[in-house]
Copies of this chain bind each other. A is one copy, B any other.
Amino acid sequence: MSGFKPVKSCPTTSARAGELVTPHGLVPTPVFVPVGSQGAVKALTPQELREVGVNIILGNTYHLYLRPGIEVIEHLGGLHRFMAWEGPILTDSGGYQVFSLAPLCRVTDDGVLFRSHIDGSEHFLSPELATQLQEKLGGDIIMAFDDCPAYGDKERVRQATERTHRWAERCLRSHQRREQALYGIVQGGTFPQLRRHSATFLASLDLPGYAIGGLSLGETKEVMAAMIEETVAFLPPNKPRYLMGAGSPDDLLEGVARGIDIFDSALPTRVARNGALFTRQGRRNLTNAEFKERDEPVDPECDCYTCRTFTAAYLHHLFKCQELLAYRLATIHNLRFIARLMEEIRRSILEGTFPAFKRSFLADYQVTDEKLRLSQKRKWTGRAATGARRFEVLEG
């Protein structure tokens, strides 16, 4: 059984506390879902994920389809058993990765023909196949296969949004394992009218949850906030709302304030591996010389294994030497920081103090410089963010 129970709403913002009910247990919301693209949250064991307070993780159908192959994972008892993770799993449909990672993809109404970014081999994904693959993986929450539109051209975004709707209907029709919750994905780019239209259409399908796709791809924070508001207003209040691709502390707070229940992003784990660790004052780059002899934890307020055990100087040293332990200790810290932030957000909603908590957190937290943020984002999301999609779009 899958479902969602709203528990308490904030009287002044759209923030809310709730609970996801899944076949692998309850998940308190709002929740951040760490990314385990290839069947592992990079560098961490399932045991460590539990220890930092992670309740649910994400697996990428695109990556697992290419390697080791969905049949291999099915043969080995499904994704939970394969990676020895007993908690809930959310799988994406592969849509976003096909558009952003594959060196070539050709879209028709039937589906997407694409080349593997690993060996160039040719593959085809359709709404039906993406649903079937996710059924074999056995995730608790699965995603409809969507056409993630490029920025800019309203007509192209409109066409991609309509295709996403037709594909959502096909995913729903082909979905067999009803204990899995199939979420729809709202598209519409940065066009308020298309967002409203997409949310309204998907709401009419009465799906168990709704994601907001096509954001956090390089647009400004203001545009992202506006698009979330335009979408959430047209989604049913008793269904969970999932903002795809957002994971910075300020994005999480702003998202929660606008009614988001679920977030996923590779950001906390990716920047950790680059030496950027979260503190209450902002991100700190541990490779900076100022940490060379710093005889205290990276974040003295943090209760994670890394901060309880090692000095910032030791982490600085490990990063300088590119010791494998660096990536892991940094990942532990960043995931614990985010998990604790979500716990505190939830508590403040339950206690009716969310706006004060948000204000106080953001007063201390120096948000990553907007220019730097956008350039990093574009670097990571590659051509999907710059609009330079090098694939053909054929109208079906």
User: Are A84 and B295 interface neighbours, CB within 8 A?
Assistant: no
Could you tell me the distance between the alpha carbons of A347 and B316 in the complex, rounded to whole angstroms? Answer: 42
**How many monomers of this protein are in the complex?**
2
A82 at the interface (CB under 8 A from B): yes
User: Are B82 and A43 interface neighbours, CB within 8 A?
Assistant: no
Could you tell me the distance between the alpha carbons of A320 and B64 in the complex, rounded to whole angstroms? Answer: 12
User: Are A320 and B68 interface neighbours, CB within 8 A?
Assistant: yes
Could you tell me the distance between the alpha carbons of A83 and B295 in the complex, rounded to whole angstroms? Answer: 12
A311 at the interface (CB under 8 A from B): yes
**Known A68-B292, A72-B292, A328-B43: A38·B310 in contact at CB below 8 Å:** no
User: Are B72 and A313 interface neighbours, CB within 8 A?
Assistant: yes
CB interface residues, A 265-321, toward B, < 8 Å:
292-293, 295, 305, 309-311, 313-314, 316-318, 320-321
User: Are B325 and A293 interface neighbours, CB within 8 A?
Assistant: no
Number of interface residues of A (CB under 8 A): 38
User: Are A43 and B325 interface neighbours, CB within 8 A?
Assistant: yes
User: Are B45 and A325 interface neighbours, CB within 8 A?
Assistant: yes
Most buried by B among A40, A44, A313: A40
A323 at the interface (CB under 8 A from B): yes
User: Are B67 and A320 interface neighbours, CB within 8 A?
Assistant: yes
User: Are B317 and A67 interface neighbours, CB within 8 A?
Assistant: yes
User: Are A325 and B72 interface neighbours, CB within 8 A?
Assistant: no
A39 at the interface (CB under 8 A from B): yes
User: Are B76 and A313 interface neighbours, CB within 8 A?
Assistant: yes
User: Are A321 and B67 interface neighbours, CB within 8 A?
Assistant: yes
A324 at the interface (CB under 8 A from B): yes
